[in-house]
Amino acid sequence: MSRRPLLSMAALLAVVIALLAAAPANGQTQSSAPKAPAAKAWTPPHTPDGKPNLQGIWTDNTLTPMERPKGLGAKEFYTDEEIAELTKRARTGSVGEEGDLGAARQQAVRYDLELYGFDPSKLRFSPNKRTSLIIGPEGVVPPMLPQARERNAERAAKEKGHEFDSYAHRPLSERCILMNQERIPMTPGANEGNLLQIVQGPGYVTLVHEIDHSTRVIPTDGRPHVPQSMRLWQGDSVGHWEGNTLVVDTTNFTNLTAYRGSSEKLHLIERFTRTADDMMTYQFTVEDPATWAKPWTAEVVWTKSKGPVYEWACHEGNTMISTILNGARVAEQEAAKKAK
Amino acid sequence: MRIWFSASVSALMLTIAGLSLAAMFASGQSAAYRAPRTPDGKPNLNGIWQALNTADWDLQGHTAAKGPMPALGAVFAIPPGLGVVEGDEIPYLPAAAAKKKENQANWMKLDPEVKCYLPGVPRATYLPYPFQIVQSPENILMAYEYAGGVRTINMGAPTKAPGDSWMGWSNGRWEGETLVVDVTSQNDQTWFDRAGNFHSDALHVVERYTPRSADTLMYEATIEDPKVFSRPWKISMPLYRHVEKNAKILEYKCVEFAEELLYGPLSKKPGN
């Protein structure tokens, strides 16, 4: 047997070892993880690390109201014809009780929404043809528990007459601490302008809401929630993947966050499932044993938008609080003068 | 037999040579450091990072000094630092130099950080709060703990800003191991530090993030603003990875900490 091959093999081995050793910390690169089985015919694209790819800029605008109009009873879905008729009516100025215009509804005083890009020709009902965002035969938020009604009434009574005393008495949205559109769960408005960008990195999904640059960096590495003693305006979110669905669990809310009158026991479960290239189903379940007798679930369909997501700096441009407080002080002075 | 022996010896020697070469690379020779890769083959900058310096107090070298609030004593006194400006000189035009002095003298009244305003770039990087890099092939997101600031760096064909903003408009690209970010369209409201260093709306910042070891990045920013400075100038500093278990960017909505300062005088006076 010739010794030469053995010799060259040994040398080759040495070189290989040397090369391997000379590539420091190069061990984190992984090939794509096996893809999760597709639930439907359409398989979502995956990120380079093998997770369902939810990325993009999304909008959730819809006329579909949170709660089902009373006249519809247990009717959960419209027919195609009904949707077409409702949409036609809405776009020509008659939204009816089937649609919710939100901030765009007729009010005594309101912003000129056309300045904010409000465009009635883009009004639409939910593509899933649901009659309300809340799913199930009832289609409404369950009745509030007596203790919750009491709690909220007490708070409102305490505030009465003090609404203009100081910044601390103004709504969170006015103070740019928590604008209504950045709150979680994310509920839609009638107008496009509720853009959300999703960026995914290994072990994280980030959601950037255009409104007030509200950003959630959600870990999907199986970590627990932060200690219960930590209460946060937007709670603490942790996520995990269930097949093609991102499931996000949020607790640790403050007792002032008060989503539709909720307490600090608010527990939110959000489910993000991409159902087509340009469509995502966002489903959320709200649970709060100190506020509602049972959990309730809503479903919102998002579609892709071109964007861009631009900066929304609420606090930096907030002249509202000082104007409102200034006005209140002037009114008080004038009232005092008159009293003399 | 003899040949086999010497072959093994030479193999061993080669191995040793290879290992010591590896040790040399791993010992912080930053120029030669090659970062771990993302699944799509780019340097992996994902993580939670923070500057460990006093640049937010003053980009230039500064000795320790008493803090702005005597009631706070030694807590919140100004810590010393060697500075992060190349050559320690910021090349202000004469009028701008005067404005910088005025800013510094009225720091508490004028600094946007005191009011919890978005910090702009590069200040966001070295504020004394962590930030997180989340990297995808199309976008790199930087989420800052301070004021919940954020920017999404577009890694595709460069795009133009719709208009000026607090955090500006970021287009990024890879140059070997380095993430290069071109930041334009910042407004003239942000500062560089608590020492009153400032810029105009003509600010152009080019940032460079270069991995220098598993847990450190080198950060460089070239600052150009012909309305304020006579030439471009540069800052640089290392950024350190948060390695603690379950590290995360926490909610730091500082608006509520600035409200008394901003709106307190407009509150109803007791007895009114």
Minimum CA–CA partner of A214 in chain B: B148
Higher pLDDT, B236 or A7: B236
Residues in chain B with CB shorter than 8 Å from the CB of A226 are 248, 250
Does any domain span residue A261? Answer: yes
In a domain, A93, yes or no: no
pLDDT of residue A189: 82
B117 to chain A: which residues are within 8 Å by CB? 313, 315-316
Q: What is the dihedral of CA B8, B10, B16, B21, to 10 degrees?
A: -140
Using a CB–CB cutoff of 8 Å, tell me whether B71 touches chain A.
no
Interface test with A, best of B268, B269, B272 (most A CBs within 10 A): B268
User: How far is the C-alpha of A76 from the C-alpha of A101, rounded, in Å?
Assistant: 20
The answer to whether position A68 is within a domain reads no
Tokens of B29: 């020779």
- pLDDT given at position B83: 98
Whether B32 and chain A come into contact, CB under 8 Å, resolves to no
In a domain, A251, yes or no: yes
Is A21 in contact with B134 (Cβ distance < 8 A)? no
Provide, as residue numbers in chain A, all residues whose Cβ is less than 8 Å from the Cβ of B134: 199-201, 204, 206, 217
B206/A contact by beta carbon, under 8 A: no
B9-68 per-position pLDDT tens digit: 455 444 544 444 444 444 444 458 999 999 999 999 999 999 999 999 999 999 999 998
* Residue from the list B136, B167, B249 with its beta carbon closest to the beta carbon of A201: B136
Q: Which residues of A touch B250 (CB under 8 A)?
A: 226, 232
| Distance spanning both ends of chain A, measured CA to CA | 120
Nearest CA in chain B to A13: B11
In a domain, A232, yes or no: yes
Q: List the domain range (segments joined by +) for residue A233.
A: 56-60+138-320
Is the pTM for the entire model greater than 0.90? no
pLDDT digits (tens, 9 = 90+) for A304-317: 998 899 999 999 99
Average pLDDT over residues A120-142: 93
Strand order through the sheet with A204-209: A214-219, A204-209, A196-201, A56-59, A296-304, A279-287, A267-276, A245-251, A236-242
Average pLDDT of the residues in B148-153 = 97
Chain A, 176 to 205: residues with Cβ < 8 Å from chain B are 176-177, 197, 199-204
B72 touching chain A per CB within 8 A? no
B192: pLDDT strictly greater than 70? yes
Say if A169 falls within a structural domain.
Answer: yes
Distance of alpha carbon A51 from alpha carbon B136, whole angstroms: 12
Mean pLDDT, residues A261-272: 97
| Rounded average pLDDT over A254-283 | 96
What band does A38 get if pLDDT is binned at 50, 70 and 90? very low
Assess B136–A contact: CB distance below 8 Å, yes or no: yes
Residue A299 lies in a domain: yes
Domain total for chain A? 1
CB atoms < 10 A from the CB of A82, how many?
15
Say yes or no for a CB contact (<8 Å) between B40 and A48: yes
- CA distance, residue B86 to nearest chain A CA (Å): 31
- CATH, residue A151: 2.40.128.20
* Interface contacts (A, B; CB < 8 Å): 200
Q: Which pair of structure tokens corresponds to residue A99?
A: 């649609």
DSSP A51: S
Q: What local confidence, expressed as pLDDT, does residue A101 receive?
A: 82
Q: Is A74 left (phi over 0), alpha (psi -120 to 50) or beta?
A: alpha
What does the mean pLDDT of chain A come to? 87
pLDDT at A41: 74
Strand, helix or coil for residue B102: helix
Which chain B residues are Cβ-neighbours of A257 within 8 angstroms? Answer: none
Q: Do B141 and A208 touch (CB under 8 A)?
A: yes
Average pLDDT estimate for A76-101: 91
pLDDT in tens, B77-123: 999 999 999 999 999 999 999 999 999 999 999 999 999 999 999 99
Residue A82 lies in a domain: no
B46 touches A: beta carbon within 8 Å: yes
Assess B271–A contact: CB distance below 8 Å, yes or no: no
Q: Partners of B211 in the beta sheet? A: B217
Residue B235 and residue B219: Cα distance in Å, rounded? 8
Report the alpha-carbon distance of residue A281 to residue A275 in Å, rounded.
7
Q: How confident is the model at residue A18 (pLDDT cuts 50, 70, 90)?
A: very low
Between residues A128 and A8, the one the model is more confident about: A128
Among the partner residues A25, A199, A200, nearest to B152 by beta-carbon distance: A199
Structure confidence at residue B33 (pLDDT): 95
Flag whether residue A175 sits within 8 Å of chain B, measured between CB atoms. Answer: yes
